[in-house]
Structure 1
Amino acid sequence: MKHLIWMVASLLLFRAANAQEKLPVIVPYNYQDIRDLYLDTSNHHTALRQILHEDTSALYNAPEEGRKRSWFHRKLFNEHLIEIREKDFNVFIDFLPDFQIGKTKDGSRTTWLNTRGAMVQGNIGKKFYFESTFFENQGKFPLYLDQYIRKNDIVPGQGGIKDYSEGKAFDFNYATALLSYTPNKYLNITAGYGQNFIGDGYRSLILSDITFSYPYLKITGNLGNVQYTAMWAQFMDKHSKDYATAYNDLGFYKKWGVFHFLDWNVSKRLTIGLFDAVIWPDADSSGRKRGFDWSYMNPIIFLRPAEFSQGSSDNALIGANAKFKLFPKTTIYGQLVLDEFKLKEVFGGKGWWANKQSAQLGFRSFDLFKVNKLDLQGEFNVVRPYTYSYRSTLINYEHYNQSLAHPLGANFWEVLGIATYRYKRWYGRGQIMYAKYGEDPDAKTNFGRDISKPYTNRPKEYGVWVGQGIKTDYLYAQGTVAYVLNPKYNLRVEASLAARKVSNELGKNTDLIFSFGLRSTFRQFYYDF
């Protein structure tokens, strides 16, 4: 298990046990496009976000009217760039551009992005699916993103950087891949290199897709109303690059993670999910190699007892995810994560520092005011100080200098709303977010927001509350309008306007960013932090 193989694939959605047997439901990897699963009268497993772009196993016969169009018209508006359709297999190949240009508030800074990507996806029969993408990028970002990138040595969600254009811009690349095998209706095995997401919200406090790609192996079983997933992954710690060089001269220091998620459709309206995870280092601080711990290979255990029985100090989390269909077109959802938990301290009301928990509550409402495809989502998230952090970045809940959960880290609360509207090939999206968090006054002091800092640097044991430190107000709003040229690979013309304001006792920073471009990305990148 040197490298955890290339990995990942499809969480396949089935109806409840009393429904007729169906082929897996494969939906686009775009959180807006899962609306039909929430509107269905059956209660689908929606918490494990899907990653397949298209049901490639369905053979395609274009209508005669469509075939009369020119090759250029069909490729630009209706078809993949290259389509190989045979009785036993299909292969689709697309060029994925992301060309953007923009201006910041007073026009003093021009931003741009030059991305050339490619995607290959296909199937062999109805049991085997594969996909691979690669993106080469150069870009110049708004000032707040530029500062973040230089500080963390990474473009959010998209890998490490090299200076470009005499240090005024960045050169970076990233890739994803997956292999998926579904031998029967009960089992799916996925090996991949990419991201995963657990939850029904815009954010996930359990496991989010905001990070750079990582290798993983995932096994998903479906039996009646129950879906169970076990996943093993390998992460990188860029903070410890000096130690990693001394350790093995093989790149960044590695750490491992194992995740279990049990999702139960209690009824057609209620779903409850249970989650646990353990992160452990590839080697200890003295450089002694540990590697993959085979005691965590059992796919059907709760990990905290196993971790405790090993006498280890591995980083364990447990959590829950739930959703309830309140009305036919409105679903409420929530999450709870426990990083540390002592019942006496939680109910003691003294704000013990190791009460490390996070919670989420939100809703999705579809066809608002009876307007077809006018959807609204609202969400509240709160994360206590020091949650997801540990004594060292060798074992914290982080990959490639980004949290595996929320982009704000910890020690904050936020409320956000997202409205979307689709009409034929037009798409509009508006988002507003407000957050309060506590910043650190200097590099050494740790009030609990920066999960890469060791929690041993905390200034006090009790009286630890959300927002402690330098109290900061954060406001972010963005509006986007797009026209989808080709839904097969999400090619669209898009215009966006974003406003951002951060203020505390040290000062105030405001940003107003306009961008316009030709885009074809399936992934969503999170710049709202």
Structure 2
Amino acid sequence: MTYCLFHFTFFNAQTLINIEHQKFSSDAFPSLYTDLFSDHSDTLYRNNRENFNVNWSPHLIYAYEDNVFAHQTGFQFNFFATYQNYIDLHLHCKAGLSNANSNAYESVLQSKAYFFQELDTNVNLFQDLRFRWIWRTNKFIQFHFGIDKHKIGEGNRSLFLGNEGIASPFVMLKSSFWKLEYLYIHQILREGKTTHYMPKGNAQHLLQFNWNKNLSLAFFENVGYIIKDTLYDRGLEWEYWNPTIFFRPQEYSLGSSDNVNMGFQMTVRFKKNMFYAQFILDEFLLSQIKARSRWQHNKYGVQFGFKKELNIKNRPLFWRIECNIVRPYTYSHKDFNTSYSNQSLPLAHPLGSNFAEFFNEIFISGKWLNTYFFTQFYLKGNDIVGNKTSYGGDLLKSYSDKPEGQEFGFKIGSGEKTYRLQIGTKFVKTIFNKRWNLFVEPRLILEKRKPTIENKVFVTVGLTSRFLEEWRNY
């Protein structure tokens, strides 16, 4: 996966930004994400009511793996202001020098997605610049505008809108009334090569019904469309800017071939426990599901998870176990420009499609030291290197590029099977009035991809801000 240069205009501006957790309607553990591990939340959105806050910190991350030394050396600046609890402004800037390549899924530095500009051999300038403006018209409605990221769901990963990708220009509407909560987001994305980007739009909404304090059900829908390509300047599709419509009927009425996905979400809370689930549906034919034919166009994914908060000797502990399964070709489209992605990165789960993943994590808040531990094991089907045929694991490839003459028999792991086990631990010490984090993070990766088995062991150390701290567990 490659990175693109950052152009600071509304339609082109998309900084390559690190992980972000904006939880939508998750009040099961209100203290967990404010006390443990720097709020463990890298979105600019905050619910605090400070009138004004400015802070800075060094951004120093160093890593070592197999006689290779990598570094990021820079600074971070954050600004927050609010006016009479009606208007908020959030600004964030991170910049510096690095000798590491900008790789979306593999990085010993644990950085997520930055804008990299090569200055010299093995010397890159990295920067992370974003903002969010919020207007609260009343207690029921909020409008957001800016360049940032969003996440929908209670899982560490999301099958709707994930947190591992790239920030983008957006407008957002959030509203709540009675037992209903509504979220509408319209993003300006882009795809293509560094010399020729294809702008595209992505509209999505989520309607959630809170049956009671323990049970919530939600319906999700999104549509992706091309704004401009080499032959046609379509512009913004204003029909999709209507937050009160369903996208699938609107797509049919336009006569377009846009990429529409639907999904359902459920959360069940009981005391300090939560069970959650997501189901994403791209396409399907019920008769083929009943026949168990593993038809190519039965494209869907499921997520099941459980998380729990404990208190051991007056020290909070958080535990999560999660399973994600996504069939081949899910999120992909006939035209790769309308795939569910942004700058070659998936908008949902970072593995894209054609995978089964098991994930487990534990947070322990100590008196002097915070500890984070996670394990990840997955099976993923990759395309064969040097072969243009798509086996459903790369959503940037058209689903029309399937193996010639084959429509059935596609199962998870189709193509070149890859098995990976990743084990990581992070030890964090807060310093400077709990504004900065000093951390050490050893990690082990075991990967089997025929005909080789690869082992990686690396250690990362750093000093960063507690706000928008680096987190990577995939």
TM range (shorter): 0.7 to 0.9
Aligned residue runs from structure 1 range 64-213, under 5 A: 90-104=51-65, 106=66, 108-141=67-100, 146=101, 148=103, 157-166=112-121, 168-213=122-167
8 Å contact from structure 1 (residues 98, 519) kept in 2 = yes
**Corresponding residue of 2:38:** none
> 1:305-349 CA deviation, whole Å, 9 max, x = no partner?
111221110000001121101x31211101110111222222221
The two structures have a TM-score, normalised by structure 1, of 0.79
Equivalent in the alignment of 1:302: 246
Distance 1:165 1:475, change over 3 A: farther
2:28 to 38, 49, 54: 38
Q: Note the aligned Cα RMSD (angstroms).
A: 2.9
- Please tell me whether residue 350 in structure 1 is matched to residue 304 in structure 2: no
Instruction: Check 1:292–1:35 CA distance in 2 against 1; reply closer, same or farther (3 A cut).
Output: closer
- The C-alpha deviation readout for 1:467-503, integer Å capped at 9, x for no partner, is 1111111111110111112576x41111111111211
* Residue of structure 1 aligned with 2:427, choices 478, 481, 486: 481
Q: Is the 8 A contact 2:218 2:264 kept in 1?
A: yes
Distance 1:194 1:32 in 2: 10
Q: Which residue of 2 aligns with 1:321?
A: 265
- Cα 1:100–1:35 change in 2 (3 A) is farther
* Counterpart residue number, 2:397: 453
The AA in structure 2 aligned to 1:93 is V
Residues 361 and 391 of structure 1: is their aligned pair in 2 closer, same or farther, counting only changes over 3 Å? same
Using the alignment, how far apart are the partners of 1:115 and 1:389 within structure 2?
37
The equivalent residue for 1:20 is none
Equivalent position to 2:190, from 219, 223, 236 = 236
- How far, CA to CA, are the matches of 2:94 and 2:43 in structure 1? 21
Contact 2:22 2:151 in 1 (8 A): no
**Equivalents in 1 of 2:239, 2:99: separation in Å?**
45
Letter in structure 2 aligned against 1:91: F
Counterpart in 2 of 1:472?
A: 418
Kept after mapping to 1: 8 A contact 2:20/2:150: no
Higher strand share: 2
Comparing 270-279 and 478-487, the one that deviates more: 478-487
Matched, 1:272 2:217: yes
- Is the 8 Å Cα contact of residues 387 and 451 (structure 1) preserved in structure 2? yes
**Secondary structure in 2 matching 1:309:** helix
Cα distance in 2 for residues equivalent to 1:409 and 1:49: 22
1:25-55 C-alpha deviation (Å, 9 max, x unpaired): xxxx9859999931479xxxxxx99743461
1:492 aligned to 392, 413, 437, which one?
A: 437
**Greater helix share, 1 or 2?**
1
Task: Indicate the SS of the match to 2:288.
Answer: helix
Q: How has the CA–CA distance of structure 1 residues 207 and 413 changed in structure 2, closer, same or farther, with 3 Å as cutoff?
A: same
Q: Which residue of structure 1 lines up, in the alignment, with residue 234 of structure 2?
A: 290
Q: Which amino acid aligns with 1:95?
A: W
TM-score after normalising by structure 2: 0.87
Structure 2 gaps, min length 5:
1-8, 32-40
Cα distance in 2 for partners of 1:37, 1:278 equals: 28
Against the structure 1 CA distance between its residues 338 and 287, is the aligned structure 2 distance closer, same or farther, given a 3 Å change threshold?
same
- Whether the 8 Å contact between 1:361 and 1:381 is mirrored in structure 2 is yes
Match of 1:441 among 367, 384, 388: 384
Distance 2:262 2:26 in 1: 30
Identical pairs, percent: 23
Deviation for aligned residue 1:394: 1.4
For residues 21 and 12 of structure 2, the distance between their equivalents in structure 1, rounded to whole angstroms, comes to: 27
- Kept in 1: contact 2:13–2:168 (CA 8 A): no
Q: Cα 1:221–1:35, aligned 2, differ >3 Å: closer, same or farther? A: closer
Equivalent residue number for residue 407 of structure 1: 350
Aligned residues: 448
- For residue 158 of structure 1, report the CA deviation from its aligned partner: 2.4
- Please tell me whether the aligned partners of residues 217 and 265 of structure 2 are also in contact (alpha carbons under 8 angstroms): yes
